[in-house]
Amino acid sequence: MKKINVNDEILNIKEVANLLKVHYKTIERWRKTRSMPYIKLSGCVRYSKLDVLRWLELCKQ
């Protein structure tokens, strides 16, 4: 189980799309192909801002 950072911001799909300046459908596609990290909380998909930013850094390389 991954350790949770209490300072981490949890985002919904529209907030992630806004952060990355892409359409929310792009976020859905990345999630469905398992390329973008996400969290499922009580059936709702959420995103750790820290994980998304780390993932973005990895994608740049």
Residue-wise pLDDT tens digits, 5-56: 667 899 999 999 999 999 999 999 999 998 899 999 899 999 999 999 999 9
pLDDT for res 50: 95
d(CA 18, CA 6): 22
- pLDDT of 4 reads 63
Domain edges within the chain = 10-60
- Whether the per-residue pLDDT at 1 is higher than 60: the answer is no
